Amino acid sequence: MAGVKGQVQKRGVERRRAMVDAAIELFARQGVRGTGVAAIAERAGATPSALIHHFGSKDGLVRAVLEEADRRALERLSITPDTEPTLDQAFDWFVRDAAHTAAAERELAALHTTLTAENLEPGSVLHTWFRDRGRALRTHLAALFTRAAADGTAPADLDAVTLAAETAAFIEGAHLLWLLDPEQVDLIAVHRSYFEGLAARLRMK
């Protein structure tokens, strides 16, 4: 019985993954508003009721897509929950992630930016998700800068919280500029320039 249960659970995970993959593809091509649950289910080889069973609603599926995008980024960068990178490692990660986004994830980046703008107001469906994600990013960045100050690779009097907000603002803003005008804005070059400049700035103090 344990083996049968394991197979059923595995099939459930595979179905859920197929639905998320289908949603990523269709959301990127048609937008969230232009994509119905039935179309996603058909693309995944499932029924609309099965999709609702797994995610509860279309909004639940959108959340799963965003979470999957973050999971892939962490996996791509070989980041684990107990990872404590150096400044140079973290800065290199951000540049490599920009390179991957520019090469293969423009649609997901556009989806993320659009949904962020659509959920700025408290009470909107994904406002809390985006707010908490932003807080988590700033917390990780602040911890990175705090460690650097403690080990001497950054000034001891560094304002880690403010620098974390600045860095997060750069990342979000750079992606927006690139999405609006990819012919004029080189996402990789902008990231490399910013993080090389930040590294030099920290070493000079």
Read off the CATH number of the domain in which 1 is found: 1.10.10.60
Q: What is the pLDDT, as a whole number, of residue 12?
A: 72
Which of 71, 100, 121 terminates a domain? The answer is 71
Residues 177 and 122 in one domain: yes
Residues 197 and 171 in one domain: yes
Q: What is the pLDDT, as a whole number, of residue 25?
A: 83
Residues 204 and 126 in one domain: yes
Residues 88 and 171 in one domain: yes
| Alpha-carbon gap, residue 33 to 31, rounded angstroms | 6
How many Cβ atoms from other residues are within 10 Å of residue 47's Cβ? Answer: 13
Which of 71, 104, 131 terminates a domain? The answer is 71
Whether 79 has a pLDDT exceeding 80, the answer reads: no
How many Cβ atoms from other residues are within 10 Å of residue 110's Cβ? Answer: 18
Residues 98 and 57 in one domain: no
Angle between helices 160-180 and 187-204 (to 10 degrees): 160
Q: What is the pLDDT, as a whole number, of residue 45?
A: 93
What are the b/e assignments for 146-184, b being 16+ CB within 10 Å? bbbbeeeebeeebebeebbbebbebbeebbbebbeeeee
Residue that has been written with the tokens 């012919």 in this structure: 183
Which of 46, 71, 96 terminates a domain? The answer is 71
pTM here is 0.81
Residue pair 37/58 in contact by the 8 Å Cβ criterion: yes
Q: What is the pLDDT, as a whole number, of residue 122?
A: 94
| Alpha-carbon gap, residue 105 to 121, rounded angstroms | 26
Residues 181 and 197 in one domain: yes
Tell me the residue type at 101.
Answer: T
Q: Which domain holds residue 201?
A: 77-205
Residues 50 and 146 in one domain: no
How many Cβ atoms from other residues are within 10 Å of residue 121's Cβ? Answer: 7
Residues in the chain, overall count: 205
User: Which tops the pLDDT comparison, 11 or 169?
Assistant: 169
- What band does 78 get if pLDDT is binned at 50, 70 and 90? low
DSSP state of 155: -
Residue pair 203/114 in contact by the 8 Å Cβ criterion: no
Q: What is the pLDDT, as a whole number, of residue 30?
A: 80
Per the structure, the count of domains in the chain is 2
Residues 58 and 125 in one domain: no
Residue pair 119/125 in contact by the 8 Å Cβ criterion: yes
- In 3D space, the residue among 31, 170, 194, 14 whose CA is nearest the CA of residue 107 turns out to be 31
